[in-house]
Chains A and B, each alone.
Chain A
Amino acid sequence: MSVVLEVSGLTVGYRVQGRWWPALEDVSWRLESGQTVALVGESGSGKTTAAHAIVGLLAHNAQIKAGRIRIGQRDLTGCSERALSRIRGWRIGFVPQDPGQSLNPSQRIGRQVVEARRLHGLTSRGQTRQTAIDLLAAVGLDQPERLVDRYPHQLSGGQRQRVLIASAVSCDPDLVVADEPTSALDVTVQKIVLDHLAERSRSLGAAVLLITHDLGLAADRADHVIVLRAGRVVEAGPSAAVLGSPAEPYTRQLAAASPSLNSRRLRPRVGPRADSTSPAAGPLVEAIGLVKDFRSQRRDPPLRALDQVSFTVWPGRTTALVGASGSGKTTAARAVMRLTALDAGTIRLRGRDVTQLPRAEWGQFRRSIQMIYQNPLSSLDPRSTVAELVEAPLRAFKIGQPADRRRRVAALLDAVALPGQLAGWRPVELSGGQCQRVAIARALAPEPAVLVLDEPVSALDVSVQDQILRLLVDLQAESGVGFLFISHDLAVVRQIGDQVWVLSAGRVVESGPAQTVLRHPQHPYTRELLDAIPGARRQVEA
């Protein structure tokens, strides 16, 4: 086994407005051929900076202060731009994070897959098409001879990520650097993509450097794990040892936060609030036989997004709708919010049919059902301050006098554990987790009976994910609000769901208490979703 990559004493920082911000300090590790090493850490830990330093994609204001990055015998830190461009793509392949934006939108797939080979003179113009077909076939894409002539927007996210893998390994590199290659994908697609990445690099004998925030995924895929925190290596070693019996408290904390390694239902740390009404006996929301068709073109047959979907939400409990993208779960949530018109079906809120609501009662309906979105930043008005955002529903529903509202906003910010001095800040100045806390405070402001949560933690880091889930569980116990929780990630649902409905292609394939459905899945699709959870292999062994 030869050493493919050797990073020693790497120190990288960014210059922002004249000030120096270190991102990596004295980081060292080595990677042997055929090995997979995972760099694990939260956002801001420096893991992406490390990947970019190796691939040569550091931002203009970044600088390597000290250390070496050796690929084989060459030290990249001393290379000229011209010499680097000969190594990139040829000796190092790079799989980027976001498949949606990492392909040139106006170039056909075939040309992009072969581009690295063309740049390094490995494929002639005449062979381009055939080489592209072979490369796409090697990552398991169907009908590669048709895909080569497509444009990126005509492919699904999983297909695009596999195209990017095909491109990264096209020159038979010694090292593949994969920066969060699947964080933008559904769990089921994630598994397929990672399988192909592992299979391709194994057959080519390439080493893989996997950058991820998900310890479960690292445990599944890597031989070695390096845990980074604030630019320094906290712990490193074989994955089984590091994750099985972490020596450092920070690693333990990360492992505890990782939903894929943590299968227990979260329990609230608080009891019901004294003034909260005791949960009513009956269900809050009953959705019965929902049907929704989408028509894109008049001549095309309609796409049935919801097909006779029924589910129930109880007060103080969490109903989880799970499924891959395209399964109709978000459409169901929007239907309950009355944000989308239904083709058939009934929705009852506290026994009252809300599909035929008279205009006068809309305000009351909107007040009793609120929503939280996946992307915390884009669901907050960038021009408003935190206090204005949380106060907005109070003003809209004309609740209380200005002084009462101010007190209520302060109480809500306190309830979601946001420091009071953030009240004057604007969303861009907050972290993702803080933004989601603001969104939760805003949704709870009019004291709704039901909260619809559409993938509320999918865009967040695992440790932040864990904090938000715990907060939601506590808030639910306090206020007795019913949750309709939409997620593709069964690992998250395991932590918060009471009742689970599994959706596939617009139909409910399985439903029941979370314990039963997740422990003893009956439908093959549910089993597939469960298998896709990273870290599953390790748990079976444990």
Chain B
Amino acid sequence: MIRYLGARLAQAVGVLWATFTVTFVLLYVLPQDPIVTMLGARGDSSSLDPAQMAELRQVFGFDQPVPLQYLTRLAAALRGDFGLSVQTRQPVLHEIAQALPHTLALAGLALALALTAGVVIATAASYATRPWLRQVLFALPPLGVALPTFWVGLTLSQWFSFRWRLLPAFGTDGFRSLILPALTLAVPVSASLAQVLSQSLIATWRAPHIGLARSKGARRWHVLTHHVFRNSLGPALAVLGLTVGNVLAGSVVTETIFARPGLGRLVQLAVTEQDIPVVQGVAVFAAAVFVVVNLVVDLVQFVVTPQLARPGAARPVRP
């Protein structure tokens, strides 16, 4: 197990390095002079002052040869320094740190909602005995996956904010303003979770050991809680790890619709304003979150699935 963990950690470091390198190549090296790109968004590139360009070039280190730039930036990134934002002239890390709490609150609530809804819908769908109820419950997750995030967001604010005036449509005014965006973000996440979990639950309900538990006199609820649920978690956990990426991506749309500050907004602004250091910083940060979450998911798999942690003892191992 320790060897496995070591391998996974090395893999995680590799992913982060690859993210940094790919974003470096895409953003700094490939298209054109990054200074023109940065300034091009604001004005006509032909009317730029050569002296100002030279100065900027020096500030951002673009006067250095590319390999040296790469190594300097990589060394700085290892210390958490992704350079300065072009718009605000603040360190990128500072910008991320400022946006993070808003996104964390949103993503946290959205994940909590998604987990609850996903698990409840999937479990109810596989537990229900009435055919019509099963049909309805099993139809919900594919529907949720199919709905586009922006449409869900607009519809929710249309009804809850503008028609019924129950919740604010935008802003960061306390917990109430968090509900609609979190709901919007939770819909696709809970749907994909419920889809995988319900399939896995159905398969477990059909397993021979479930029949045996019933033959011992266990009622369905006991069978669900003691035998079915834990044995169905594996695939759902794997999806949950991947879903965190969806939450980050979804926050771009959600925060834009509901006019909330946060990482999504930061990325969206940085991209439209060609703020290269911020884009790279957020990309590497998102990769780091993704890698850590999936490592945690793997560890939880070890706890949930005894076969992973304990190799078979009685049987000789055969290829």
Contact = CB atoms under 8 A, between A and B. Distances in A.
Given A89-B217, A153-B312, A303 B317 contact: yes
Q: Which among B213, B215, B312 has the greatest number of chain A C-beta atoms within 10 A?
A: B215
B178 to A, nearest CB: 36
B319 interface: yes
Given A103-B209, A153-B307, A116 B217 contact: yes
B310 A119 contact: no
Given A101-B209, A106-B305, A120 B310 contact: no
Interface in B196-241: 207-209, 211-219, 222, 226-227, 230-231
Interface in B261-319: 304-307, 310-319
Nearest to A340: B319
Interface in A124-166: 150-151, 153-156, 159, 164
Contact of B209 (A88, A102, A120, A150): A102
Contacts of B230: 106
Contact of B227 (A104, A153, A331): A104
Contact of A156 (B217, B311, B315, B317): B315
Q: Which among B209, B310, B312 has the greatest number of chain A C-beta atoms within 10 A?
A: B209
Contacts of B226: 104, 107, 115
Interface string A85-106: 1111110111011100111111
Contacts of B317: 294, 296, 303
Nearest to A82: B219
Contact of A119 (B208, B218, B312): B218
Given A102-B208, A105-B306, A106-B230, A90 B314 contact: no
A303 to B, nearest CB: 5
Given A106-B305, A294-B319, A150 B217 contact: no
Contact of A104 (B209, B214, B305, B315): B209
A167 interface: yes
Interface string A372-391: 00000000000000000000
A154 B310 contact: yes
Given A105-B231, A159-B314, A296-B317, A96 B217 contact: no
Given A154-B312, A294-B317, A96 B218 contact: no
B211 A119 contact: no
Contacts of B213: 104, 115
Nearest to A150: B313
A151 B215 contact: no
Given A151-B306, A156-B315, A94 B215 contact: yes
Contacts of B217: 85-90, 116, 119-120
Contacts of B311: 296
Interface residues of B, number: 31
A411 interface: no
A95 B222 CA distance: 20
A107 B312 CA distance: 15
Nearest to B230: A106
Interface in A496-520: none
Contacts of A155: 314
Contacts of A93: 215
A98 to B, nearest CB: 6
A94 B213 CA distance: 10
B217 to A, nearest CB: 3
A22 interface: no
A66 B264 CA distance: 65
Contacts of A96: 208, 211-212, 215
Contacts of A98: 208
Nearest to A330: B318
Contacts of A104: 209, 213, 226-227, 231
Interface in A327-370: 331, 340
A56 B214 contact: yes
A239 B218 CA distance: 35
Contacts of A271: none
A303 B318 CA distance: 9
Contacts of A81: 219
B314 A154 contact: yes
Contact of B314 (A103, A156, A294, A296): A156
B208 A101 contact: yes
A167 B209 contact: no
Contacts of A90: 217
A28 B316 CA distance: 46
A326 interface: yes
Contacts of B231: 104-106
A119 B216 contact: yes
A10 interface: no
Interface of A: 55-57, 81-82, 85-90, 92-94, 96-98, 101-107, 115-116, 119-120, 150-151, 153-156, 159, 164, 167, 294, 296, 303, 305, 326, 331, 340
7 contacts: A88-B214, A96-B212, A106-B306, A119-B216, A119-B218, A151-B306, A294-B319
Interface of B: 207-209, 211-219, 222, 226-227, 230-231, 304-307, 310-319
The 10 closest A-B CB pairs, nearest first, are: A89-B217, A89-B216, A94-B215, A296-B317, A116-B216, A88-B217, A151-B306, A101-B208, A154-B313, A156-B314
